């Protein structure tokens, strides 16, 4: 029975290509799509696992593999997807005597694609017995310009050896080690070790199965660059073409985590607008616009709630409002006249990030609506004017408590952020940063030079923190507070101190630079030599501590900072006490 079903699928090419985006977790945007094949929805071979299992037993694995590649390439080109196409290939097919060499390259060229746009993704669902033949097969692809990825690292039979033998351009960390990584120390250590190997081999890494913001945060903190999973977008026959990572807009000062928790998301912009199906006729769409005078647009949504386009009233009326418009096009499906590349935004995205992407690009005009989705499923539309109103309110709130010199958040936002972390019981490290010998420097060179140093330190701190999760605040004067959630906060502090000592000398005159300091008067009027400015950091970690409020944290951090300032030069002093606060 299943053999006959497989034969019918292969004979009539009854396969559908689905695509799931692979996103850049640091810079935002889609770098490519993994092609995922599906059998007929009414068939017992709908799932790819069943499909390939039966094909393997029937000796039709190569036939199925080649058909999948053809369907995936044809659909990828037809949808005009950007980035790289990740094609799944079983190493066992490379060993089959009837494998057709050169098929993939030829089919790509027929559809206007090049091998440089494709990544051959090796799926290891059975043992690899002949590494040498597999390596030769992969080398054949590389010679033609294809890149190579190793799938499900950590779950297969010989993943580490394949990594060593094949030297892939990408490795994908198996979802088992990603799911729940935020609550599993051993998983995070495992991924950290694999990432260190990848860095040494100059190999890009992809975290598979990222489903929550917490998992996203941890794998990104561990250095994994690319991500794939439901948290970003679900697989779909009509995949999203725009993904906006929750990274800070310029000027956020590395405080994306704070603003994400305190500001509004795109969900506040949702307007409930009825959607139409792709096959609906132009006449019917025109009737909807006529019956609803205030309707600016109609999203076009396919099966499963996936948006595939949008119809803007103004452009639509230009077509059907012409003298013979309805007569010519009235019975045509609306899919032929829709905007097939609308701006599609996840409702959880901070509105600051949406504002940045719109102002930096030209994908949407100020008069057009955009589509809002929930994990890829349509929920409503949004308008540029609605975004502008919310952004204006948000900027007023942020500016009210920002330091006017550095534009960093002041004491009120600092305390709010600490209270929020305490409430959510999230581990963090609060670091009080203070300049040594700043008053003599300011008196000697004047407040203009002093302000330059204060802005220099603010920029240094924001450049060295993790903009996705750490917070930089300006208490006032030459005092700052950095609240780390990144796991490598000690290393970041050391880099801050190193860079500070390297760059601070540029703020001195040549003679004082040569003397390694300045001469000035102390409070008693005595002539005193003051060494170059130093940076003292007092750090206190919440791990193992019970703080009742942000004020308790500030008290301990201030005390630790005073201890750090007793040591000459730039230094970090970490409070080692536990169970206090």
Its pTM surpasses 0.75: no
Question: Could you report the per-residue pLDDT of 495-525, keeping only the tens digit for each?
Answer: 999 999 999 998 999 999 999 999 988 888 8
479 domain-assigned? yes
112 and 63 in a common domain: yes
User: What's the CA gap between 382 and 346, in Å, rounded?
Assistant: 11
197 and 88 in a common domain: yes
Average pLDDT of the chain is 85
38 and 168 in a common domain: yes
**Model pLDDT, residue 243:** 63
DSSP type of residue 507: G
- CATH code (residue 163): 3.20.20.450
Question: Could you report the per-residue pLDDT of 184-201, keeping only the tens digit for each?
Answer: 878 888 898 898 899 888
513 and 412 in a common domain: yes
Residue 154 region, left (φ>0) first, then alpha (ψ -120 to 50), else beta? left
504 domain-assigned? yes
Q: With 90 as the cut, is the pLDDT of residue 530 above it?
A: yes
- CATH code (residue 359): 3.10.580.10
260 domain-assigned? no
Look up the domain containing 533 and give its range. Answer: 403-574
User: What's the CA gap between 236 and 358, in Å, rounded?
Assistant: 25
251 domain-assigned? no
- CA geometry: angle 520, 522, 526, nearest 5 deg: 80
Q: With 80 as the cut, is the pLDDT of residue 356 above it?
A: no
Stronger pLDDT, 262 or 287, i.e. the higher one: 287
Question: Could you report the per-residue pLDDT of 28-40, keeping only the tens digit for each?
Answer: 678 899 999 998 8
Lowest mean pLDDT among 249-258, 291-300, 380-389, 542-551: 249-258
Question: Could you report the per-residue pLDDT of 413-453, keeping only the tens digit for each?
Answer: 999 999 989 998 889 999 999 999 999 999 999 998 999 99
At 251, is the pLDDT very low, low, confident or very high (cuts 50, 70, 90)? Answer: very low
CB 38 within 8 A of CB 75: no
**Model pLDDT, residue 367:** 60
Total length of the chain: 581
532 domain-assigned? yes
User: What's the CA gap between 222 and 199, in Å, rounded?
Assistant: 11
417 and 381 in a common domain: no
User: Residue 386 to residues 89, 262, 271, 463: CA-CA distances in angstroms?
Assistant: 46, 19, 10, 32
Q: How many CB atoms lie within 10 A of CB 98?
A: 10
């Amino acid at each position: 029975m299943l053999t006959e079903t497989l034969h019918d699928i292969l004979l009539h090419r009854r396969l559908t290509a689905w695509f799931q985006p692979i996103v850049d977790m640091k810079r935002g945007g889609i770098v490519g799509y993994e092609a995922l094949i599906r059998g007929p929805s009414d068939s017992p071979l709908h799932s790819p696992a069943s499909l390939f299992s039966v094909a393997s037993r029937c000796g039709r694995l190569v036939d199925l593999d080649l058909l999948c590649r053809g369907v995936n390439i044809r659909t990828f080109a037809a949808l005009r997807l950007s980035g790289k196409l990740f094609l799944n290939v079983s190493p066992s097919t490379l060993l089959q005597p009837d494998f057709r060499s050169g098929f993939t390259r030829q089919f790509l060229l027929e559809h206007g694609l090049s091998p440089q746009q494709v990544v051959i993704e090796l799926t290891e669902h059975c043992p690899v017995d002949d590494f040498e033949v597999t390596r030769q097969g992969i080398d054949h692809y590389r010679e033609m310009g294809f890149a190579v990825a190793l799938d499900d690292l950590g779950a297969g039979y010989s993943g580490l050896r394949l990594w060593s033998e094949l030297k892939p351009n990408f490795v994908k960390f198996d979802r088992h080690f990603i799911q729940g990584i935020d609550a599993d120390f051993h998983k995070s250590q495992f991924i950290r070790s694999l990432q260190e190997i990848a860095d040494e081999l100059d190999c890009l890494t992809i975290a598979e199965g990222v489903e929550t913001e917490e998992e996203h945060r941890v794998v990104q903190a561990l250095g994994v660059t690319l991500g794939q999973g439901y948290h970003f977008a679900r697989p779909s026959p009509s995949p999203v073409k725009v993904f906006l990572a929750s990274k800070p807009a310029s000027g956020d000062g590395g405080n994306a985590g704070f603003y994400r928790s305190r500001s509004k998301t795109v969900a506040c912009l949702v307007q409930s607008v009825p959607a139409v199906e792709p096959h609906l006729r132009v006449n019917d769409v025109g009737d909807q616009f006529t019956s609803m005078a205030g309707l600016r647009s109609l999203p076009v949504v396919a099966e499963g709630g996936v948006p595939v386009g949008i119809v803007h009233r103004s452009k639509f009326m230009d077509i059907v409002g012409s003298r013979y418009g309805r007569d010519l096009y009235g019975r045509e499906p609306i899919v032929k006249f829709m905007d097939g590349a609308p701006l599609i935004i996840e409702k959880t995205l901070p509105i600051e990030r949406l504002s940045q992407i719109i102002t930096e690009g030209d994908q949407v005009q100020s008069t057009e609506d955009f589509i809002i989705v929930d994990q890829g499923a349509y929920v409503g539309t949004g308008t540029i004017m609605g975004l502008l109103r919310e952004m204006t309110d948000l900027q007023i709130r942020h500016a009210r408590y920002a330091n006017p010199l550095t534009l960093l958040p002041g004491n009120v936002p600092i305390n709010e952020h600490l209270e929020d972390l305490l409430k959510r019981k999230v581990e963090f490290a609060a670091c009080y940063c203070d300049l040594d010998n700043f008053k003599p420097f300011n008196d000697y060179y004047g407040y203009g030079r002093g302000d330059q140093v204060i802005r220099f330190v603010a920029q240094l701190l924001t450049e060295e923190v993790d903009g996705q999760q750490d917070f930089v605040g300006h208490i006032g004067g030459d005092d700052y507070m950095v609240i780390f959630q990144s796991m490598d906060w000690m290393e970041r502090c050391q880099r801050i101190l190193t860079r500070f000592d390297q760059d601070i000398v540029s703020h001195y005159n040549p003679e004082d630079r040569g003397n390694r300091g300045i001469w000035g008067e102390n409070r008693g009027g005595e002539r005193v030599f003051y060494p170059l400015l130093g940076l003292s950091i007092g750090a206190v970690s919440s791990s193992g501590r019970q703080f009742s409020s942000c004020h308790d944290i500030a008290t301990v951090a201030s005390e630790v900072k005073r201890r750090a300032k007793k040591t000459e030069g730039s230094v970090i002093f970490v409070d080692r006490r536990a169970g206090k606060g």
